[in-house]
Amino acid sequence: MDWDTLWLNCQAATMVPGSPYGAIRDAAIAARDGRIAWVGRRHDLPPEHCAAEIVDLAGCWVTPGLIDCHTHLIFGGHRAQEFTLRLEGARYETIARAGGGILSTVEATRAASADALLRAAEARARERLAEGVTVLEIKSGYGLDVETELRMLRLARDLGERLPMTVRTTCLAAHTLPLEYSQAADDYIDLILDTILPRAIDSGLVDAVDVFCEGIAFTPVQAERILRAARDYGLAVKLHAGQLSDLGGAGLAARYGALSVDHLEHVSEADVCAMAGAGCVAVLLPGAFYSLRETQPPPVALFRKYRVPIAIASDLNPGTSPVRSLRLTLNMACTLFRLTPEEALAGATRVAARALGLQQNYGTLECGKFADLVSWDIDDPAELAYWIGGAAVMGRVRHGKLLGD
Ligand code: NIG
Ligand code: FE
């Protein structure tokens, strides 16, 4: 057995189902060619093993790299003014209908240079990296025209090249109706289907397609046109549904075999059951729930009952979830939605990988997957959800390579 690196003297929260955190005490983990080549109890190491480098982790906990499976990381400007308005009593939907909300960020994003967008997004992505995130999903959706949607997706790809992290791109051209099409939703959907999506696909910029299905965005009938086209292209689909109201989006997404349905504060039991049947992941976004001071949490008991896998994500966006820490989201998921700390960590590792269709390569510490590891200054993996803020990362490894500061 010939390994590149062997990590010894650690506690591995492998996140493999079957035991709490899939924990292995006094573990050893080996990597070869960027992938995990062996993981288990140190005492069970094969006697003939040999590693070019041996690292003693001094007893600390190791988890898979964290995965933020729902972000709107690329955008121009910010919405601190809207935050203030909401504190004075204005409602998110009222602001959105008056041309604020998503549309104000569309204006700022169209006006920004590609360079300025990249710099701001890179700073936010580096914050994720520093807290142990190795896989990041990034949506478009603040362009809402051909040129800016393509620019956003291209920038997301650029980030994946510039930073030691895996970036998955999602085309969310159907985020809301742009002003130019305010009375012509079907014409805008034609633009997405005839131009934006085909051009983005031709340029290799799309891993998945998403739609915001909501009263202030697209109806299920409109969303279905996009899901059908995406499926015909062979692309994975996702849906923002049930954030503010239940329009039946989760059931629709299930019929299209969506990887995930995201938000889900408002969803019927029948649709949860349909999600289970279709293997959809429920991506919960406690940052948006918190920021909008929503009062109806997602039906976690139903997800558990029907065994719908639960992921959590930051939903980082300038309006409803200016959350610059995925770790903070773990805490919010427990405190606001009553997830267990183990469910929260699984939601940001194993299940998040599944929400991106990446479960073959990411999300657990198992042989054959990429060696994306984070070592933590903690005594108990529940601490990852327990602390509110603060940094606990000791070391980060991506594809078998130690990352610097
Ligand atoms: O996930 N729900 C739709 N999109 C974002 C909100 C974006 C915005 O307000 O800019 C969300 O919450
Ligand atoms: Fe979102």
Q: What is the pLDDT of residues 118-154, one digit of tens each?
A: 999 999 999 999 999 999 999 999 999 999 999 999 9
ipTM comes to 0.93
Q: How many CB atoms lie within 10 A of CB 111?
A: 11
Cα(177) to centroid of ligand 1, in Å? 13
Nearest atom of ligand 1 to the alpha carbon of 70: 1
Pick the closest to residue 327 from 384, 403, 277, 282 (CA basis).
Answer: 384
Claim to verify: residue 115 and residue 41 sit in the same structural domain: no
Write the DSSP string, 39-95: EEEGGGS-TT-EEEEEEE-TT-EEEEPEEE-------SS--HHHHHHHHTT--HHHH
Q: Token pair of 4, please?
A: 């590149």
Per-residue pLDDT tens for 74-111? 999 999 999 999 999 999 999 988 888 999 999 999 99
pLDDT digits (tens, 9 = 90+) for 317-338: 999 999 999 999 999 999 999 9
- The number of the ligand 1 atom at minimal distance from the alpha carbon of 92 is 9
* CATH label of the domain that carries residue 55: 2.30.40.10
Same domain, 150 and 47: no
Task: Give the structural domain span for 106.
Answer: 66-355
Residues at CB less than 6 angstroms from ligand 1: 72, 101-102, 105, 212, 240, 243, 288, 315, 317-321
Same domain for 94 and 20: no
Number of domains in the chain: 2
Task: Write the CATH number for 344.
Answer: 3.20.20.140
Task: State the distance from the centre of ligand 1 to the C-alpha of 214, rounded, in angstroms.
Answer: 11
Give helix 102-111 / helix 146-162 axis angle, nearest 10°.
80
> Which phi and psi (to 5°) does residue 328 adopt?
-60, -35
Claim to verify: residue 6 and residue 154 sit in the same structural domain:
no
pLDDT in tens, 6-59: 999 999 999 999 999 999 999 999 999 999 999 999 999 999 999 999 999 999
Contact 176, 96 (CB under 8 A): yes
Backbone angles phi, psi at 391, to 5 degrees: -115, 135
Task: Name the nearest CA neighbour of 354 among 261, 228, 268.
Answer: 261
Q: Which of 140, 240, 260 to mutate to test the pocket of ligand 1 (most atoms within 8 A of CB)?
A: 240
Q: Tell me, yes or no, whether 59 and 186 share the same domain.
A: no
Query: Is the pLDDT score of 1 beyond 90?
Result: no
Judgement on whether residues 84 and 134 belong to the same structural domain of the protein: yes
pLDDT classification of 292: cutoffs 50, 70, 90: very high
> Are residue 238 and residue 198 in the same domain, yes or no?
yes
Looking at the fold, whether 173 and 82 belong to one and the same domain comes out as yes
